[in-house]
């Protein structure tokens, strides 16, 4: 079988390590399933991102939706990253992690009134607006408290991100953003919204984009649009290109990230604005793994099934989008043959699969497998379905192990739920 390794997830003496920690030893202490994140991998990914856009006037606002563990947010904020929050809950987390308001962007495709009130009463760098109604509400709520809200209209540039349809966000008819024509009407009527400073413009065309074309087309289209906005007397200070930069999920994938960045730099420079990036997956995905024990091996018809103690409750991406995650044993044993198996979870859903017909080294029950690239859109999408407790999140820094979040207890499952005698 192929192995997925990085500088921070490597095999030593046939045993998988995260930085200097042997993962087999870690699971003995903390059990499975467990999420493990490498601090130095997060740092390296962030630095790689920043380096690729050197020479540009830009800032990174890490998209907390991809992994909002408090310490992940804190590590990135300490490196100089702002944080893009998508809801009141993510705002709360970012504040708990110590992020200053000015380092926050308030995103959200359907903000509630409470979220709008929170956003306008804080001092975030920008609040995104995704419809005329939202612009009206932001103006009204800011007016009530005598503030001028810094707003970025999220435009739908109608560019196909050429990625999975479930993570494409900028095609015609999408629920995300505002059309060009409606945005021009809003900008033309800017004087009707005295409590808004239209200082930004925003797009986010999709996720896991691995080729330059969708980004280049989107920026070119937006460049023409910015000229029209300028003609209406609106001076845009921040151009927010969103996130979406793809990563290598398979050992054989070859990242074109630096190539994409090099093509984007001159284009973005010509916009004459501060550029804002909101990468999520690029920063955290390959910095995390989900470790899970094989609880059963069985046959079903002509299939060999490996059932893990993690399921879609801990990593829903394969069931949700048919996503590929490389899966490999913590212990390599060259005497064992490769076998072709379906790898499932223990959840009562037939979509509870991690992989179908996957080649993997034959591994026995009670051994542990590593599901790679589980640092993004894994723990944040986890659930208590089937009465399951969320796993711990552990952060490794060289030879140090930090439990950032413990395994939920059964009491967590009952949070504030009570027996009502009258019923």
Ligand X SMILES: Cc1ncc(COP(=O)(O)O)c(C=O)c1O
Catalytic residues: 348
- Is residue 38 at the binding interface for ligand X, with CB under 6 A as the rule? no
**Measured from the CB atom, is 177 or 392 closer to ligand X?**
177
- Least spacing, CB of residue 200 vs ligand X, in Å: 13
Torsion of CA 58, 60, 61, 62, to 10 degrees: 160
Phi and psi torsions of 385, nearest 5°: -50, 145
Binding-site member from 106, 245, 257, 353 for ligand X (CB under 6 A): 245
The answer to whether the bond into 282 is cis (omega within 30° of 0) is no
DSSP 409: P
**Measured distance CA(289)–CA(391) in Å, rounded:** 12
DSSP 64: G
E-strand stretches of 4-76: 9-12, 15-18, 21-22, 34-38, 58-63
- Is residue 107 at the binding interface for ligand X, with CB under 6 A as the rule? yes
- Is residue 93 at the binding interface for ligand X, with CB under 6 A as the rule? no
- Least spacing, CB of residue 374 vs ligand X, in Å: 14
Compute CA 238 distance to the chain's CA centroid, rounded to the nearest angstrom.
22
Binding-site member from 33, 150, 157, 242 for ligand X (CB under 6 A): 242
- Is residue 84 at the binding interface for ligand X, with CB under 6 A as the rule? yes
Residue 307 makes CB contacts below 8 A (sequence gap 6+) with: 294, 295, 296, 297, 298, 344, 345, 346
Binding-site member from 243, 288, 345, 375 for ligand X (CB under 6 A): 243
**Measured from the CB atom, is 215 or 282 closer to ligand X?**
282
Residue 419 makes CB contacts below 8 A (sequence gap 6+) with: none
**Measured from the CB atom, is 17 or 215 closer to ligand X?**
215
Torsion of CA 11, 17, 21, 26, to 10 degrees: -120
- Least spacing, CB of residue 206 vs ligand X, in Å: 7
- Is residue 111 at the binding interface for ligand X, with CB under 6 A as the rule? no
Identify the residue whose tokens are 């810094």: 150
- Is residue 239 at the binding interface for ligand X, with CB under 6 A as the rule? no
List the interface residues with ligand X, window 377-416 (CB under 6 A).
Answer: none
Binding-site member from 279, 375, 391, 392 for ligand X (CB under 6 A): 279
Stretch that binds ligand X, among 31-39, 62-70, 215-223, 248-256 (CB under 6 A): 62-70
Which residues are at the interface with ligand X (CB under 6 A)? 63, 65-66, 84, 107, 204, 207, 242-245, 278-282
């Amino acid at each position: 079988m192929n192995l997925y390794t990085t500088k921070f997830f490597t095999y030593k003496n046939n045993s998988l390590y995260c930085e200097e920690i042997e993962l087999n030893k870690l699971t003995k202490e903390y059990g499975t399933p467990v999420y493990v994140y490498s601090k130095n991998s997060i740092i390296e990914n962030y630095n790689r991102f920043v380096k690729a856009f050197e020479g540009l006037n830009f800032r990174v606002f890490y998209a907390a939706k991809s992994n909002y563990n408090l310490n992940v947010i804190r590590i990135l904020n300490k490196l100089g990253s702002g944080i893009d929050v998508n809801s009141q809950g993510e705002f709360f987390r970012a504040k708990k992690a110590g992020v200053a308001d000015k380092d926050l962007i308030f995103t959200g495709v359907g903000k509630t009134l409470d979220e709008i009130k929170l956003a306008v009463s804080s001092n975030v760098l920008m609040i995104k607006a995704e419809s005329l109604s939202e612009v009206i509400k932001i103006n009204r709520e800011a007016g009530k408290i005598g503030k001028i809200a810094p707003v970025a209209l999220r435009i739908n540039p109608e560019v196909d991100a050429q990625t999975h349809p479930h993570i494409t966000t900028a095609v015609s008819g999408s629920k995300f953003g505002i059309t060009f024509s409606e945005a021009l009407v809003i900008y033309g009527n800017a004087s009707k919204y005295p409590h808004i400073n239209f200082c930004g413009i925003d797009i986010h065309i999709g996720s896991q984009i691995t080729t330059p074309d969708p980004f280049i087309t989107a920026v070119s289209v937006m460049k023409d649009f910015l000229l029209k906005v300028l003609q209406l007397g609106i001076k845009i200070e921040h151009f927010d290109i969103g996130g979406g930069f793809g990563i290598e999920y398979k050992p054989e994938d070859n990242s074109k990230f630096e190539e994409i960045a090099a093509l984007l730099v001159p284009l973005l420079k010509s916009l004459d604005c501060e550029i804002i990036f909101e990468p999520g997956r690029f920063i955290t995905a390959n910095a995390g793994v989900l470790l899970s024990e094989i609880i059963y091996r069985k046959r079903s018809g002509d299939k060999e099934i490996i059932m893990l103690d993690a399921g879609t409750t801990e990593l829903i991406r394969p069931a949700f989008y048919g996503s590929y995650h490389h899966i490999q044993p913590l212990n390599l044993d060259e005497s064992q043959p490769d076998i072709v198996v379906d790898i499932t979870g223990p959840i009562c859903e037939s979509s509870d699969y991690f992989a179908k017909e996957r080649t993997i080294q034959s591994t026995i029950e009670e051994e542990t497998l590593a599901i790679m690239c589980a640092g993004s859109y894994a723990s944040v999408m986890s659930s208590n379905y089937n009465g399951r407790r969320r796993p711990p999140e552990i952060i490794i820094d060289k030879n140090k192990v930090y439990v950032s979040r413990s395994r939920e207890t059964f009491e967590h499952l009952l949070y504030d739920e009570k027996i009502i005698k009258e019923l």
